[in-house]
């Protein structure tokens, strides 16, 4: 992750020109991810519904809560909250001792929720007098919905109709990590270009970064609290807190003020720091238990 971000920042002039392939990379990444998951494992629970409710309604609440700090700040925070769960969240959840199957189910539900909510919410906060609400909503929906949901539908079709191709994709599921790294480098290039060529002040950029930190910590905290009620605090925390920041950056840069992509860009750093701390804490706990056992 740090290498991909560094490459994107250093070579932003070249990599930002590859912006047009980002949707295809996201599609491929999601397709490989869904090929690893059996549809029978995807069981929606009340915990998932609560998390989805917070993800969607919380994004609207966050926008108006942070609006006094500036519209760009509000949009940055909003896109961080409404972003779907990261495709890698199930892997981290499993390493932390949570339910990977539960996170897989919520990953799909979260993506579906984002695909449905973004075309409704974004035109309300980023007005476009030339297109109008309905036209802009349909335009966003026509691009976002297929990008998030079609990979899942395609994985189901391949599994039932062309099982040979499905198995090959499943065997290559590890490639999703490298596709993710390539996508991250490109979106970081876009963020760097937006920062350098934009009119956002350094002070505003710092405020956006700090607000994304506050939101990141809050989402992990709320997710864990809800998950604890249903006996799986780890899945709840990762489901609500670990975001698909690559998709969030792309959505923000495409449909909102380009500077709002700074929010999810900073969120990348914060969520990985939290994940690293959680993994370190779990490893220490296991080492201590092993020593006590010996």
The yes-or-no verdict on residue 23 having pLDDT over 70 is yes
Residue bearing the bigger pLDDT, 68 or 167: 68
The full 3-state SS of 198-229, as one line of letters, equals CCCCHHHHHHHHHHHHHHHHHHHHHHHHHHHH
pTM (two decimals)? 0.78
Indicate if the pLDDT at residue 163 is higher than 80. yes
> pLDDT, tens digit, for every residue of 112-155?
888 788 888 887 777 654 556 677 667 767 776 777 678 888 88
**Greater model confidence, 82 or 199:** 82
Residue 53 has what pLDDT?
95
């Amino acid at each position: 992750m740090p290498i991909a971000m560094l490459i994107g920042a250093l070579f932003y002039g070249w990599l930002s020109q590859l912006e047009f392939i980002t949707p295809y990379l996201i599609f491929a990444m999601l397709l490989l991810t869904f090929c690893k998951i059996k549809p029978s494992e995807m069981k929606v629970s009340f915990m998932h519904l609560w998390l989805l409710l917070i993800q969607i309604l919380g994004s609207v609440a966050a926008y108006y809560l942070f609006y006094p700090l500036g519209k760009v700040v509000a949009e940055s925070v909003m896109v961080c909250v409404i972003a779907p769960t990261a495709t890698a969240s199930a892997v981290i959840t499993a390493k932390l001792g949570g339910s990977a199957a539960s996170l897989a189910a919520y990953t799909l539900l979260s993506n579906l929720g984002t695909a449905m909510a973004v075309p409704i919410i974004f035109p309300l906060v980023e007005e476009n007098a030339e297109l109008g609400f309905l036209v802009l909503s349909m335009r966003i929906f026509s691009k976002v919905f297929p990008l998030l949901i079609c990979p899942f539908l395609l994985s189901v079709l391949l599994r039932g109709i062309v099982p040979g191709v499905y198995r090959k994709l499943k065997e290559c599921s590890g490639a999703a990590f490298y596709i993710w790294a390539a996508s991250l480098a490109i979106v970081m290039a876009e963020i760097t270009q937006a920062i350098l060529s934009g009119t956002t002040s350094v002070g505003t950029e710092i405020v956006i970064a700090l607000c994304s930190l506050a939101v990141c910590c809050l989402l992990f905290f709320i997710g864990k609290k809800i998950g604890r009620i249903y006996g799986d605090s780890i899945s709840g925390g990762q489901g609500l807190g670990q975001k698909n920041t690559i998709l969030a950056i792309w959505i923000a840069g495409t449909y909102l003020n380009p500077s709002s992509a700074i929010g999810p860009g900073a969120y990348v750093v914060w969520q990985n720091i939290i994940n690293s701390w959680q993994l370190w804490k779990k490893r220490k706990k296991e080492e201590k238990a092993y020593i006590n056992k010996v």
